[in-house]
């Protein structure tokens, strides 16, 4: 019998490429079809067929308070009743901006946009406009959205110039992106030796979350800060995932390293489409209309999204991050032990309310070591957990996220499901 999800996926494939509006949702790499979701609340989601899931995707990070948080929902509904969009300034964008700066003092001036991609793309344009340099250094396996210059493949090792990782990105653009392995300061130094005078910025996920979770090695972020300062390049922390999650004040607070520019997304919109970039005043003052670097958006600072973001950050400021981190560490540790007891090699990376179980025995510190994880085994684990009512990321190279809405009972039920998995 065809389920309602299957019926929707059939229809979706006739209207959306691959049946989805964002590739990983198709569940291809875990060898199954997606579940269509009807609604979500707290730690739970319900499919259009009425199946219930304990969720560890949490919309890929935004829902740190849990789904459909009452305060966020009420703020968004109240704002929507006053009009969805004005195309003119509104109080909430100022209030959210001020609250972000209070929590992340390095964001002296900031600009709201509508996605993480827009935030990183705009920050790089600003870095180029400010420094008068063209090249950008990023790290193997880090993801900064889908704008052209970020979609370069690693090639082999520390390639100096890169080829496009996707058709549609001209070599002339891909060639402006330099790569180094994550956690490898020597690789960064080598790129600066070769291209120092041309590098506008180094952009990094200060806690890498897009090949699975990889924490920064001790000294890595401090080293980047020092190298950038020495060479006159800007340091951009892409905190689209880690902002308000690695700590309330993000990875920059947790590790005590201040970048020149920061990019945010996900959590600051409370589930609505919001991104943001900001940083040192003298740099941000180059953005139009106060300066010459152009960047704009019809829906930027959208009143409904701003209201949801404001309610989210106010609620987060009152949460016990340390307690959630302790509970997540204990839970993820038990999950890893359950799989080890079934004979699997598991490397667990965990930080704050994020973790990844890599199916490998090699410690995972960069993209190359992440790739040693057995994705077929992860796929098997994913499918069986889903059948037991647990929604994990539909890819072995992503983070799992807990939230303040995950109860001890949720975590215990998840461990029970994992014990029942045959792998």
In the complex, which residues of this chain contact ligand PMP (CB under 6 A)?
A: 60, 115-117, 120, 143-145, 205, 209-210, 238, 240-241, 265, 275
8 is catalytic: no
Shortest spacing between CB 423 and ligand PMP, in angstroms:
27
- State the residue number with the nearest CB to ligand PMP: 116
DSSP string over 58-126: GGGTT-TT-BT-HHHHHHHHHHHHT-S--SS--HHHHHHHHHHHHHSTT-SEEEEESSHHHHHHHHHHH
* Catalytic-labelled residue, pool 56, 135, 140, 143: 143
- Buried-state track 10-31, b at ≥16 Cβ within 10 A, e below 16: eebeeeeeebbeeebbbbbbbe
Q: How far is CA 56 from CA 66, 170, 335, 384, in A?
A: 10, 37, 13, 15
Q: Please state the closest distance from residue 341 (CB atom) to ligand PMP, in A.
A: 32
What minimum distance in Å lies between the beta carbon of 395 and ligand PMP? Answer: 12
Indicate which residue of 140, 184, 238, 410 is catalytic: 238
How far apart, in whole angstroms, are the C-alpha atoms of residue 210 and residue 60? Answer: 10
CB atoms within 10 A of CB 46: 15
Whose Cβ is closer to ligand PMP: residue 339's or residue 370's? 370
DSSP summary character for residue 308: H
∠ at Cα 188 (183, 190), nearest 5°?
135
Task: For the CB of residue 1, give the shortest distance to ligand PMP in the complex, in Å.
Answer: 35
How far apart, in whole angstroms, are the C-alpha atoms of residue 208 and residue 215?
Answer: 6
Q: Which is nearer to ligand PMP, 66 or 209 (CB)?
A: 209
Is 361 annotated in the active site? no
Selecting among 266, 366, 371, 382, the annotated active-site residue is: 266
DSSP state of 202: E
Please enumerate in sequence order all residues whose Cβ is within 8 A of that of 133, keeping only pairs 6 or more positions apart, or say none.
Answer: 197, 198, 199, 200, 233
136: its two tokens: 């950008």
Counting Cβ atoms within 10 Å, is residue 392 exposed (0-12), middle (13-18) or buried (19+)?
Answer: buried
Calpha distance 55→246 (Å, rounded): 19
Query: What burial letters (b/e) apply to 258-293, b meaning 16+ CB within 10 Å?
Result: bbbbbbbbbbbbbbbbbbbbbbbeebbeebeeeeeb
Q: For residues 5 and 210, which CB has a smaller minimum distance to ligand PMP in the complex? A: 210
Closest CB to ligand PMP among 296 and 323? 296
Q: With respect to ligand PMP, which residue has the nearer C-beta, 3 or 147? A: 147
Four-residue CA torsion sign, 267, 268, 271, 276: negative
Nearer Cβ to ligand PMP (144/315): 144
Taking the complex as a whole, how short is the minimal distance between the CB of residue 205 and ligand PMP, in angstroms?
Answer: 5
Give whichever of 144 and 245 is closer to ligand PMP, judged by the CB atom: 144
Of residues 54 and 251, the one with the C-beta less far from ligand PMP: 251
**Least distance (Å) between residue 337 CB and ligand PMP:** 28
Task: Give the nearest distance from C-beta 147 to ligand PMP in angstroms.
Answer: 9
Residue 170: partners with Cβ closer than 8 Å, 6 or more residues away? 148, 164
Q: Closest approach of Cβ 391 to ligand PMP, in Å?
A: 17
Q: Are 390 and 248 in contact (CB under 8 A)?
A: no
User: Is residue 238 annotated as part of the catalytic site, yes or no?
Assistant: yes
Tell me which residues are annotated as active site: 143, 238, 266
């Amino acid at each position: 019998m065809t389920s309602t999800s299957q019926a929707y996926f059939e229809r979706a494939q006739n209207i959306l490429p691959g049946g989805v509006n964002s590739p990983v949702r198709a569940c291809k790499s875990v060898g199954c079809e997606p579940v269509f979701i009807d609604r979500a609340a707290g730690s739970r989601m319900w499919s259009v067929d009425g199946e219930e899931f304990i969720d560890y995707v949490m919309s890929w990070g935004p829902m740190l308070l849990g789904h459909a948080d009452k305060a966020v929902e009420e703020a968004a509904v109240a704002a929507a009743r006053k009009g969805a969009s004005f195309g003119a300034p509104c109080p909430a964008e100022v209030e959210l901006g001020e609250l972000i700066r209070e929590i992340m003092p390095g964001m002296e001036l900031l600009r709201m946009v509508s996605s993480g991609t827009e935030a990183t793309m705009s920050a790089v344009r600003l870095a180029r406009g400010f420094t008068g340099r063209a090249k950008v250094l990023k790290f193997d396996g880090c993801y900064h959205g889908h704008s052209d210059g970020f979609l370069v493949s690693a090639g082999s090792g520390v390639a100096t110039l890169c080829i496009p990782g996707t058709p549609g990105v001209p070599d002339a653009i891909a060639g402006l992106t330099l790569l180094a392995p994550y956690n490898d300061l020597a690789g960064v130094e080598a790129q600066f030796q070769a291209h120092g005078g041309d590098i506008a910025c180094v952009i990094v996920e200060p806690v890498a979350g897009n090949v699975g979770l990889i924490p920064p090695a001790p000294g890595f972020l401090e080293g980047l800060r020092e190298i950038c300062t020495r060479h006159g390049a800007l340091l951009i922390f892409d905190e689209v995932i880690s902002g308000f999650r690695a700590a309330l004040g993000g990875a920059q607070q947790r590790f005590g390293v201040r970048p020149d520019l920061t990019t945010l997304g996900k959590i600051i919109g409370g589930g609505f489409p919001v991104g943001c970039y900001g940083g040192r005043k003298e740099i941000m003052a180059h953005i139009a209309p106060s300066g010459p670097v152009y960047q704009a958006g019809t829906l930027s600072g959208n009143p409904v999204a701003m209201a949801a973001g404001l309610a989210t950050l106010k609620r987060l400021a009152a949460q016990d991050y340390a307690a959630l981190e302790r509970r997540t560490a204990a839970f993820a540790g038990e999950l890893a032990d359950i799989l080890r007891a079934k004979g699997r090699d598991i490397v667990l990376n965990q930080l704050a309310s994020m973790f990844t179980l890599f199916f490998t025995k090699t410690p995972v510190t960069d993209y190359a070591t992440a790739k040693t994880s057995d994705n077929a085994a992860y796929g098997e684990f994913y499918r069986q957990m889903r059948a037991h009512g647990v929604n994990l990321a539909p890819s072995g190279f992503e983070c799992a996220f807990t939230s303040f809405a995950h109860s001890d009972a949720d975590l215990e039920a998840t461990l029970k499901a994992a014990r029942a998995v045959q792998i």
